[in-house]
Structure formats: structure tokens, C-alpha cells
Amino acid sequence: MAVTVDISKLVTTHLHTDNVQVFSLLRLPPQLCDRYEQGHRQALLLYDGSQHKGRIRIAGDHHLAVTLPSQETIPAPDSHVLVALTTDTAKRFVIQTVVERLDGEFCVLRVLDPRLYPRYPGCENHILQFRPVPFETARMLANGEIRLLRTKIGLASKQLAEVLKHHQQESTTVTLLEENDAALPESLASGTEAVIDTLFEQDRTQVAEAQHDLQKKSPTVATMADISLGGICLNFVRKSDRSLAHRLLYVDLRCPAARAAIAPLGAAGTLTLHLQTFVAVRHHQRPAEEPQDHLHLMFLHQLPEAVAYHFHAPGGPANGTPSLPLTAVTASM
């Protein structure tokens, strides 16, 4: 069974966003932190459906102390607070937090992991390669000169129903093109499920030349630190001084599923999930003291929950606590 959707509109959405979500406060520019702590700027706080302004003090890597102008506006313990720090440009740093405690005039906030979905640790049998997308190809995508189609192949009927429901909920940015009983492509082995992104010409009938050119490029091999339905964190050996921040990458990943994980689906042997997807680089860390760079990647469209069993066995560990989605909140900022 196969499902094909057009996700072209998501390219512009993710590449041009000005909200930078942070988990570690150490990632904030020191000069910006000084301006807020000295009171030259006030943070924007969103909670209880309202916006408030307050002065912040950074208390370590994952805590903020906030003072508000009125005691009547202090959020309740354990409630979620979205903190937005504006800059001199269009960029905003967005921090998801929860109220940990009230301490006199201060409201102490604990920073939450901004990734909505649980992270599953990478393992040795997850083989990943990536290719940077040329700037011209990204421009053509953003201008609608070529289309980006995603096809999900080999999903069981129960999984397929979940995928269709998932895309119906995203109808404003994702167009469902077709569903059919097409056989697996010859490039995919039997027992493989796949999520494949492909660049097409505007009429969606012919693969774009940009897709062929991209796949001819030599890939960079990387190790996966973790993966979620929303993105990947990976490490790779630095080859140049060029930053990949805010670039599009084409990722190729194969994830064999544990036999215990697929047993409930009634599958025999070991299934493999094959991902060939475009991702947006949200952050490129280049620690001088380490030989490897770290990339934080976001899928242009989240993976369906039906494929999560490839990442862990039932009851297996997943890192991170699901946090509040930003779609509705940041739209009001």
C-alpha cells in the first residue's frame, strides 16, 4: 500500500521561520542575556492564554528566574510558560518552560525540551548518510518551480488509516494526491517500509532533474545520537569550515526493527524502515574541542506514529518529556 502527499509548502515555512527554539540557555548569545538581565529588555511570557512582560535572570543551564510587575499575574505552579526573547533582528529565541516553584518575588521556571515527541537513542545498526541541498534547488522549491512529494510505502492497513488521518489534520499545508496498492520499487527490499521524499516537476508527473543531480553527489556518513518523529540529532566528522545552519539536507536512513517490536503486527522476520527525506537544519554546533560537529535536524513533515516501533522495542527507553506545541502560540506573537 502506498500514500503520496505534496509537502512543498512546508519548505518555505521551515526555512524562513524566525523562531529559534532552545533547550540549553548556554546557546543564547551572551550579549543578549546581559541586556535582559540588566533590564534593558523585558521577556515576553505567554501563559493562561495571555501575554505578559517580565524581567528574567538566568539561573544555570536549564532554569530562569522571572519577576513580574504584579503578583496577581504570577502563573500557577506546574503550569507551562512560553518565554520569547526578541533581538535587534527578526529572530526570536523561544523557550518552553514549566513553573517549578515560587520563591518570594521570583517565579522559577525550568526549561523543557522543545521537541514535542520522545527521542529514541541511536544505535549501531542505524546507518545514516546526508547530502546538502544546493541553494539553487532550495530556491526553486521555495518559489514553487519544482514540487516536493512524499510517499509512504508498505504500511499495514491499520498504519495506513493512521497516516491518512494524520494528513487530513494537516490539510492546509499537505495535499493528499493518491493512495494505491502499488508494489514496492525494485530499490526497496521485501519486508521494507519506506518514507520517500522526491522532487518533481511542477506537473508532478516527472522526477525533477534536481533530484537526479542531488543523488549523484557523494554523501557524508554520520552517526545518529537520537531520533524522534519530529527530527534527528546526529554527529559527523567535520570536513570543512562551512556551516550547515538553516540549510536543507537530503537524509538517507535505514532502521531495522527489533523482532520483539514487530511481533504485535504479526510480521515475520525483521522489517526495515527506509527513510529518504528532506530535513531542515535547525542548529549546527561546532565545538572547537571536539572532532565532530553536531546537527539538529527537523523533518519538513513529522513521521507518522505508525513507524515509531522501528526506533525502540516495546517498553524500551525514550528520552525527553513531551512538551507543548508551538504552532498556535507562536502565531500570536
Q: Residue 235: its pLDDT value, please?
A: 87
Asked if residues 42 and 85 have their Cβ atoms less than 8 Å apart, the reply is: no
171 and 307 co-located in one domain: yes
Asked if residues 243 and 136 have their Cβ atoms less than 8 Å apart, the reply is: no
Question: Where among 111, 133, 156 does a domain terminate?
Answer: 111
Amino acid at 138: A
List the domain range (segments joined by +) for residue 104.
24-111
99 and 213 co-located in one domain: no
93 and 157 co-located in one domain: no
Question: Phi then psi for 320, rounded to 5 degrees?
Answer: 95, 155
86 and 131 co-located in one domain: no
Tell me whether residue 163 is in a domain: yes
Q: Residue 21: its pLDDT value, please?
A: 76
Nearest CA-CA partner of 279 in 148, 146, 99: 148
Domain count, the chain: 2
195 and 77 co-located in one domain: no
Asked if residues 19 and 57 have their Cβ atoms less than 8 Å apart, the reply is: no
Domain with 47 in it: what CATH number? 2.40.10.220
pLDDT in tens, the chain (333 residues): 567 778 777 776 666 556 677 878 887 888 888 888 888 888 988 887 778 888 888 878 889 999 887 776 788 888 888 898 888 876 788 888 999 998 878 899 999 877 667 888 876 667 789 999 999 998 898 888 999 998 887 754 345 445 545 545 544 455 555 554 444 444 445 557 888 999 999 888 899 999 999 999 999 989 888 888 888 988 888 777 777 877 899 999 987 765 444 444 444 444 678 899 999 887 788 777 777 888 888 888 878 777 777 776 444 445 544 333 333 233 333
102 and 146 co-located in one domain: no
H or E element, residue 137:
helix 135-142
144 and 279 co-located in one domain: yes
259 and 146 co-located in one domain: yes
Tell me whether residue 330 is in a domain: no
Q: What residues contact 332, with CB distance under 8 A and at least 6 apart? A: 46, 51
